Amino acid sequence: MSSPVPVHVPPDRVVEFDRFTSPVLQRCPHRGVADLFKNSPDIFYTTGDRGHWVVASATLARDMLRQTDKFSSDPVHNPANARKPPTLPNQADPPLHTELRRIINPFFSPAGVQKLEHSVRQLAGELIDEVIGRGHCEFLRELAQRFPVQLFMRMTNAPMEDREMLVAKVDRFTRAPDIQQRLAALGELGDYLKGMIAERERTPGDDLVSLAIHGTVHGRGLTDDEKLGMVNLLFLGGLDTVAAMLSFIMAYLGQHPAQYQRLVSDPELIGNAIEELMRVHGVAGMERGVTADMDYAGLSFKAKDRLVFLPHVYGLDEALVDDPFRVDFDRPISSHLVFGSGPHRCVGSHLARLEMKVFIEEWVRRIPAFSVAAEGDLPTRGGLVWSPVAVPLEWPVADTVADPLAGQDQGAAA
């Protein structure tokens, strides 16, 4: 949807790009958008999605995301991103943001998520074993939309039968090109979560929802809106992002058998490989509002200007990474902003890393070779979170090893 170009935007800063509908998002979006960014001003303006700036430079993005006083997460400074219910703490600035994060930080810390490793590994193995004997699967729906999602449903003690309904609502919020449809999906999710919050207020458990709603900020309990905002963001983050990222990564490994063979022969490489594959397959973006008229990086912003960041491709910025399109599991550092930068760094980053590492370890143990069962580049979808449309995979069944740990002492690994 096009909107007029504001008068303070220089004409040479206008670039056509819609983060929901641009054709470049429909196949190899990372390469396409990285190329677009390379050939565009560091910060450009688009009339797509109701009009906003796009920060195309990873270096500027990192600088701006740190300056929460100038570039705010609060919709007061970015009315186009107002949501009902809100999402928190990502739509708050410090100091409220800091206080809200404190409630959930210990759960999501590296030590916190380490406690989940055993159940993460068990579920990964179970789900792979369900499809392994037939020699093929549609990875996105059959594994990616189940593995992290079922783990999340367990963490929040949400009813497993609601999984598909919730995934569909989050998908609509994340990818419907029409803002009214997105907000409607968010409203429906909010109504569902209100019921869950009321239930956990009556009977608190040791689940993540109970933890989030019973926290305190500045010595007081959370308001109803804050409780809903916190739980809302947990579900938006928990139900979609890892599914999308893991699907991109598995599609890449299926299309690059020599790279995959390196992981089979040396599983110790998997951690580095995931970091490098995340670098080139970012999935989620964020936005900010300008708090006051100001000059920045050669531009004049007006208060309430809307800024969109696309960490999806910041890891492909030559200013951040040498030879960025070369995927190299031996890179000393895979620099990226996939989990954001600054105080709003994705709270689920450690859980996401653990889930993907464990999943690929379990896949490598069982399936020594696999490929993508489709010619050419896979169709993809844009939106707030990019994702493949489907990832058909196939493998020779004769070489696989279902449940390779059966009969061994699994406790030794825990």
Residues that bind another protein (CB under 8 A): 66, 101-102, 105-106, 108-112, 332-333, 335, 337, 339, 341-343, 345, 349-350
For CA atoms 338, 82, 70, 102, the dihedral sign is: negative
Give the integer Cα–Cα distance in Å for 32 and 14: 18
For the bound state, the minimum distance from the C-beta of residue 96 to another protein, rounded and expressed in Å, comes to 16
Q: Could you tell me the smallest distance in angstroms from the CB atom of residue 156 to another protein?
A: 20
CA separation for the pair 186, 334 (Å, rounded): 34
Identify which of residues 108 and 139 has a Cβ nearer to another protein in the complex: 108
Q: Which string of b and e fits 362-389 if b means at least 16 CB within 10 Å?
A: bbbbbbeebbbebeeebebbbbbbbbbe
Q: Which is nearer to another protein, 279 or 366 (CB)?
A: 279
Query: Which uninterrupted H or E stretch holds 61?
Result: helix 58-66
Minimal distance in Å, beta carbon 343 to another protein?
Answer: 6
Asked whether 362 and 124 are in contact (CB, 8 A), the reply is yes
Q: Token digits for 274?
A: 């995931």
Residue 303 and residue 260 in contact, taking contact as beta carbons nearer than 8 Å:
no
Output the CA torsion sign for 256, 261, 262, 264: positive
Residue 271 or 368: the one with the smaller Cβ distance to another protein is 271
**Least distance to another protein, CB of residue 310, Å:** 17
Nearer to another protein, 71 or 339 (CB): 339
Assess contact for 391 and 131: CB atoms under 8 A: no
Q: How far is the CB of 339 from another protein (least distance, A)?
A: 7
Please, what is the minimum distance in Å from the beta carbon of residue 136 to another protein? 35
Comparison of 197 and 320: residue with beta carbon closer to another protein:
320
Closer to another protein by CB, 6 or 110: give it: 110
> In terms of Cα–Cα distance, which of 73, 86, 76, 83 is closest to 224?
86
- What is the smallest separation between the CB atom of 65 and another protein, expressed in angstroms? 9
Q: Where are the alpha helices (DSSP H) in 133-219?
A: 139, 147-156, 163-175, 179-202, 208-213
- C-alpha 337/C-alpha 59 separation (Å) is 10
Would you call 390 exposed, middle or buried from its count of C-beta atoms within 10 A (0-12, 13-18, 19+)? middle
Which phi and psi (to 5°) does residue 326 adopt? -80, 120
Q: How far is the CB of 408 from another protein (least distance, A)?
A: 27
